[in-house]
Structure 1
């Protein structure tokens, strides 16, 4: 039995060094704190920066955290997170032959993870400046990325523009942008926005998903009609939706929403039971699946199975995931997004971090 399989089944690992994080940092993070999503253009996204900040905090790696934060603020937020939300994409513009912001619009899911990581870093490292930055980011988000949807209430939109459609009668939403543990934490501290109301709105969306037990990448909310299939994204669940299963599996069992959230994502593991593979796409309406998901999907299905007490499936998925490991990372070549999913999933399964009932981050290093 490999070390990964053993640690997954035990629900714990060596609380010292985190080899997956260390290999990730070596492969994807430059010396100045830029997360390079290797591929055409060597782009950087605000989401990649925000996730890396969270993992650095989980690892207790403050030096890397500070480098990531400095690069993010200087290059994506015009040098001041109190005034600008991070641009969502940075890289080489072939048209002008120079490096810089490629898409200046903000991405709400990245902003949420950035603010949460800063807030918890301020608490865990007793560093008020991080918390002040978090409050500033949250206030900007409330101002620019939150809309009051008739009949639903305040809701976090995917970004400041482009998601209100049909002349203000409908809105496109992304369920994976609403991790309940983060919303719970922001609501409990009461800073920078209407997060308790947004959590309630997210709960209503999740109850809609519970009817099928599957998550789509996108969903539409229409005034007077409620939630509907998205006319652009359709009924497919894939690279966005996989995170919905991740958030439900890592939610605290003491959270009031835990049972309902897990119930709303019950449809994933049955697809994995036969061949121990995870489909890349699932049509939430027809229930038909297609493709073979990459290693990151396997990591998410693994923690879903573990959260449901499906020990046999958990072990089989752990073995499959282990078979994709090359030089400490997953996949060949290792895709950036897959490593993010694996860091979230395995970090939680190995008890490197947990979310408390109020959404606080609990790390292994603070418990030593």
Structure 2
């Protein structure tokens, strides 16, 4: 009996080590493709611009791969080029070929959140208080400049400017990074983070639009508490909203909030799953999921038989990032 347990234990350890090694190989491929020597992450599908989303994603990947040199390089570039001294947050977009690389002075709270979350993880892993202090400063700024009470809910706006339209606010549900908010709550003990988690989950429960019963990439919350797909964007469950089930799964693997995604994707064979669907007209995309979109589908559907995590030479930044994030969540 003991011998059998010992063999099983060794097999589990070997599997964990092999998974870590494979994840490390994917991280090396990711860096080769998207990390510049100065610490800038390039969005190869968007004219090689950079944004806080990519910087934050990569900082988290670096922490999880115990790669402090890359982490510091990415964090240094982010501070030097994107930090907004007026509010402690970060300019969301950087275009290296523009006369003014930072034309839009607004922030994006998903990028800010990932930067703060990665710093928190880095401080814990490498026992460095400077990372923790930086994380705390960003989370305080997020609460001060982006969190409001509206329509009976505590919500985090996608940016400090332009999303509160008085009679309604526009929200991006893929910015509800529940596992990060939980870590911020654990560190700060502030109720605002638990309010955001609880109200964010309630709102996701209401964002079940059309036949697929899925959220749109952008959703308007009105003062009376009702939600509709935002009129300013296509009413699609698409490349933004694909991160909603990713973060829900990352936070609570067995969450009932995952059921609509399982039901929708379960209507199709894996290779025949539409890349997006319009939640107003119910029209699916004319092309199928691949790459990072499939990685999120596999994570949510519990399909672990798709082989090792690989970043291919043809893969663009966002597809590769979704693959890496799905790997971290798994």
What TM-score do you get using the length of structure 1 for normalisation?
Answer: 0.77
- 1:242, 1:41 → 2: CA distance? 22
> Could you tell me which of 273, 278, 283 is aligned with 1:283?
278
Name the CA shift for 1:186/1:210 in 2 (closer, same or farther; >3 Å): farther
- 1:11, 1:248 → 2: CA distance? 23
The answer to whether 1:334 aligns with 2:330 is no
- 1:40, 1:52 → 2: CA distance? 17
The answer to whether 1:67 aligns with 2:48 is no
Q: Which residue of 2 aligns with 1:204?
A: 202
Q: Which residue of 2 aligns with 1:293?
A: 289
> Could you tell me which of 260, 267, 276 is aligned with 2:256?
260
Task: Report if the CA contact (8 A) 1:46-1:87 is conserved.
Answer: yes
Task: Report if the CA contact (8 A) 1:142-1:192 is conserved.
Answer: no
What is the deviation of 1:262? 2.0
What TM-score do you get using the length of structure 2 for normalisation?
Answer: 0.86
SS in 1 for 2:71: helix
- 2:244, 2:39 → 1: CA distance? 28
| Mapping of residues 23-172 of structure 1, within 5 Å | 23-38=29-44, 41-77=47-83, 83-94=87-98, 96=99, 100-152=101-153, 154-165=154-165, 168-172=166-170
- 1:142, 1:340 → 2: CA distance? 26
SS in 2 for 1:221: strand
Task: Report if the CA contact (8 A) 1:206-1:264 is conserved.
Answer: no
What is the deviation of 1:206? 1.5
Equivalences, count: 313
1:160-190 residue CA offsets vs partner (Å, 9 max, x unmatched): 111112xx11011111100222222222222
Whose RCO is larger (CA < 8 A, sep 6+)?
A: 1
- 2:55, 2:70 → 1: CA distance? 11
Task: Report if the CA contact (8 A) 2:113-2:177 is conserved.
Answer: no
Name the CA shift for 1:342/1:250 in 2 (closer, same or farther; >3 Å): same
Task: Report if the CA contact (8 A) 1:184-1:199 is conserved.
Answer: yes
Structure number having the greater strand percentage: 1
What is the deviation of 1:40? 6.2
What is the deviation of 1:233? 2.3
What is the deviation of 1:83? 4.8
The answer to whether 1:227 aligns with 2:238 is no
SS in 2 for 1:15: helix
Name the CA shift for 1:347/1:148 in 2 (closer, same or farther; >3 Å): closer
Q: Which residue of 2 aligns with 1:177?
A: 175
Task: Report if the CA contact (8 A) 1:268-1:301 is conserved.
Answer: no
Name the CA shift for 1:237/1:39 in 2 (closer, same or farther; >3 Å): closer
Task: Report if the CA contact (8 A) 1:35-1:44 is conserved.
Answer: yes
- 1:64, 1:178 → 2: CA distance? 26
Name the CA shift for 1:267/1:209 in 2 (closer, same or farther; >3 Å): farther
Task: Report if the CA contact (8 A) 2:218-2:230 is conserved.
Answer: yes
Task: Report the more deviating stretch, 286-295 or 83-92.
Answer: 286-295
Any gaps of 5 or more consecutive residues in structure 2? 1-14
1:251-279 residue CA offsets vs partner (Å, 9 max, x unmatched): 344xxxx42222343334224x3252331
Task: Report if the CA contact (8 A) 2:262-2:301 is conserved.
Answer: no
Structure number having the greater helix percentage: 2
Task: Report the more deviating stretch, 138-147 or 44-53.
Answer: 138-147
